[in-house]
Amino acid sequence: MTHNAVSRTTEFVYESLPTRVIFGSGTLNNVEQEAKRLGMSRILLLCGQPHESVTSSIAKSLGDIYGATFLGARMHTPVNVTEEAMALVKTSQIDGIVSIGGGSTTGLSKAIALRTDLPQIILPTTYAGSEMTPILGETDNGIKTTQRSPKVLPETVIYDVELTLDLPPAIAGVSGMNAVAHAVEALYSRDANPVISALAIESVAALLRSLPRIRNEMHDLGARSDALYGAWLAGICLGSVGMALHHKLCHTLGGMFDLPHAETHAALLPHVLAYNSPAIPEVMQRLSHSLGVDDPALHLYRVNQAIGATPALADIGMPEDGIERATDLALANPYWNPRPLERHAIRDLLARAYRGDEPKP
């Protein structure tokens, strides 16, 4: 069998991103030590309502280096929310950020860091993976734009498996499939390389074996650990190579219709992989071998069913007339993809995802 990575070993570029990672159970206890190591003396805590009690506990442990707490993070990192948080940064004389939560909270932390270059400590509670990337997506007036900057890359990420144990299985499932999307698209990225391809295959395998187990037993510590490990690897993939059609479509739909981020990734992933499959036979072969399946795209669709992820974009808020609008916007600015961007085929892809049909090339 010929692996996709093998064909790229003669020439590639690999950049290792300098984030410090602490992984395990009970690693939450490292926050104060890490904050002091980074020179923080006036900390802003970011969190969502589900993690308010954990955040309050962290605030007490920080003592006199605690500055303030902001609870208003929202999906897709709206610029107006960032401006609210920035006002608190200024009035409280903040010099460091500790973020506890999923992709929305991480996104807000990174948006603040972009504007201030403040150091960040991120404690993920989902499998979003954005904590491992120098990438920030922000939404303003319904348009989501993405940029890369070393300013937004967190200095430390603390993975504490115990922080994920109460993540409901339905949310864990779609969050995990969001991470799978990062790894799958990294396999056929224009700047894929052997290191990232190896991490991506490991990530996909770890996530797809753990997510159905979490669905059946939400407090399975081994499955939770595997999922968080897979999400970490997927985040490295997302931050190290460029993405293509899948992420473009997800950002387009999320920005236009305010669709839930992870659910959108989960629903679209099988369809985009099927669309690209004729142009990436080595990647499809490698995924088939790793997962022990004949059709990786159909397998992803069935995993979505097994974990309770909604297959139809219609069920998470996309209007039917959005198919045409999203197709036009997705094609408005050219970008790289292994298969050429064909309007009728992309429209058909979105229509199938809208209805929740099985994926087709």
Domain ranges of the chain: 20-164, 168-355
Q: Are 108 and 52 in contact (CB under 8 A)?
A: no
Instruction: Quote the CA–CA distance of 246 and 359 in Å, as a whole number.
Output: 14
Instruction: Quote the CA–CA distance of 282 and 55 in Å, as a whole number.
Output: 45
Share of the chain above pLDDT 90, in %: 88
Relative to beta strand 43-47, strand 120-124 is unpaired
User: What integer pLDDT is reported at residue 4 of this predicted model?
Assistant: 43
Q: Is the pLDDT of residue 30 over 50?
A: yes
Residues 202-248 pLDDT 10s: 999 999 999 999 999 999 999 999 999 999 999 999 999 999 999 99
User: What integer pLDDT is reported at residue 142 of this predicted model?
Assistant: 83
Hey, how many other C-beta atoms are within 10 angstroms of the C-beta on 257? 17
DSSP letter string, 18-43: --EEEEESSGGGGHHHHHHHTT-SSE
Q: Is the pLDDT of residue 35 over 50?
A: yes
Question: Sign of dihedral through CA atoms 247, 324, 317, 275?
Answer: negative
Beta bridge partners of 69: 45
Q: Are 181 and 143 in contact (CB under 8 A)?
A: no
Q: Is the pLDDT of residue 2 over 80?
A: no
Question: Sign of dihedral through CA atoms 28, 29, 30, 33?
Answer: positive
Relative to beta strand 143-148, strand 135-140 is antiparallel
Provide the greatest CA pair distance for the chain: 60
Closest CA to 300 of 323, 334, 277, 329: 277
Q: Is the pLDDT of residue 92 over 80?
A: yes
Beta bridge partners of 144: 139
Residues 289-308 pLDDT 10s: 999 999 999 999 999 999 99
Edge-to-edge strand ranges of the sheet holding 96-101: 20-24, 156-160, 120-124, 96-101, 43-47, 66-70
Residues 111-127 pLDDT 10s: 999 999 999 999 999 99
Tokens, residue 69: 């707490």
Tokens, residue 33: 């030590």
Task: Indicate the average pLDDT of the chain.
Answer: 94
User: What integer pLDDT is reported at residue 9 of this predicted model?
Assistant: 56
Q: Is the pLDDT of residue 8 over 60?
A: no
Q: In CATH terms, is domain 20-164 a member of 3.40.50.1970?
A: yes
Quick check: do 20-164 and 168-355 share a fold? Answer: no
User: What integer pLDDT is reported at residue 144 of this predicted model?
Assistant: 85
Plot region of 185 (φ>0 → left; ψ -120 to 50 → alpha; else → beta): alpha
Residues 170-205 pLDDT 10s: 999 999 999 999 999 999 999 999 999 999 999 999
- The predicted model scores a pTM of 0.89
Length of the chain equals 361
pLDDT confidence bin for 10, thresholds 50/70/90 = low
Instruction: Quote the CA–CA distance of 294 and 279 in Å, as a whole number.
Output: 17
Q: Is the pLDDT of residue 5 over 70?
A: no
Q: What is the CATH number of domain 168-355?
A: 1.20.1090.10
